[in-house]
Structure 1
């Protein structure tokens, strides 16, 4: 059973039909979409060096802008202990530069959450809680986080965490998926955010 329908249970059927279609077979076959980020913003300027370092791990990037082309891909994988995983690749195209925001996700049946390893190789881990909105949209909220150092993981106090909120919906009038992402820190405020739209590639 797909990891996203497992974590949502009966709520999965409340998703917009197009979101159900997109997530139903996500572990069985690759998916690719493309679109435009209407806005990408990066928060505090002093974080520029940290975000530039993040480009090496395909996690963060310092660029900002409007109407930035991007692609999104999901690819099924099998983990070391045989668990189903989904590799996410998000690529943003800034005037010839390719920037990434990648992750590897799997389902934890004991805790009923999605496990999210961010970056390549991973430098951050986060629990993800999924809920369905009244309009059939998918709401994703990060919870407990850990810094990853190889095979060692260290829990992060909340003041060091980047709390992510993701909302994905489908616009029936325009026939596009809409995505809104915001990552906030309790002290630093916005780390980065973006909002845009995309369609399935044939």
Structure 2
């Protein structure tokens, strides 16, 4: 199936809701034209958590390309955003972020979809962990806050109780002082506080897809 003329962000919000975004962000959160892909490069000021007692759990998530057991600064990264349609026929954007840690590259993957209830982030290669997201625009920036978190077990989606569910907050804004896009994500939990975070800046552009060229990563399609 061919990706939609609308992005998941546009399809899951009221008409015109994203018009208040900074012009440099409208292209990032708008639909990627057929035959194109979004690519960016930048540096994360910080990635991970200094709480080493959490690293064994993060190592388990790292195998599914969700979170990495690290605490590093000044981490170069690349991002690729690819339009797609998932197995259920939902509009999607597949994101692949490559972090260049001191130990070597590591890839984080997720898929943003426009669900019946709004925007959702399917985390990792498996997509077993899903966060429903509330979308807000203020001062030209986009803010996403998780409203519920579910995970798939034996083919069924189970919602985590609010008392223990982690909370994801992601902010994307344009910084004219450095002519770059800034991103900040925090994952926190009740009683524990911040579990994981990353923040940094990058440049991004929509370019013709070179999927058929050497080193290409494949064209639009369905999530594996």
Common fold by TM > 0.5 = yes
Runs of 4+ in 1 over 3 A off after TM superposition: 26-29
TM-score by structure 2 length?
0.82
Q: TM-score, normalised by structure 1?
A: 0.91
Of 20, 23, 26, the residue aligned with 1:20 is: 26
Looking at secondary structure, tell me which structure has more helix per residue.
1
Structure 1 residues 153, 39: closer, same or farther in 2, change over 3 A?
same
> Which of residues 124, 129, 144 in structure 1 aligns to 2:129?
124
Q: Is 2:38 aligned against 1:34?
A: no
Instruction: Give the C-alpha shift of residue 43 in structure 1.
Output: 4.9
Residue 2 (1) aligns with residue 7 (2): yes
The correspondence for 1:84, drawn from 75, 83, 91, is 91
For the 8 Å contact 1:27–1:77, the answer to whether it is kept is no
Is residue 167–residue 180 contact of structure 1 (8 Å, CA) maintained in 2?
yes
| Alpha-carbon spacing, 1:97–1:64, altered in 2? closer, same or farther (3 Å) | same
Q: Deviations 1:52-98 (Å, cap 9, x if unpaired)?
A: 11111001111111110011111111122322211111221112422
Q: Check the 8 A contact 1:142/1:163 in 2, yes or no.
A: yes
Give the RMSD, CA atoms, in angstroms: 1.7
- Give the Cα–Cα distance (whole angstroms) in 2 for the partners of residues 180 and 193 of structure 1: 8
In 2, distance between residues paired with 1:190 and 1:81?
Answer: 33
Residues in 1 aligned to 2:149 and 2:169: alpha-carbon distance in whole angstroms: 14
Question: Which residue among 177, 181, 190 is the counterpart of 2:181?
Answer: 177
The answer on whether the counterparts of 1:61 and 1:100 sit within 8 Å (CA) in structure 2 is no
Can you give the 5+ residue segments of structure 1 that lack an aligned partner in the other structure? Answer: none
Q: Mark the runs of 5 or more structure 2 residues left unpaired by the alignment.
A: 1-5, 208-224
Where does residue 151 of structure 1 map in the other structure? 155
What number of residue pairs does the alignment pair up?
199
* Counterpart mapping for 1:43-54 below 5 A: 43-54=50-61
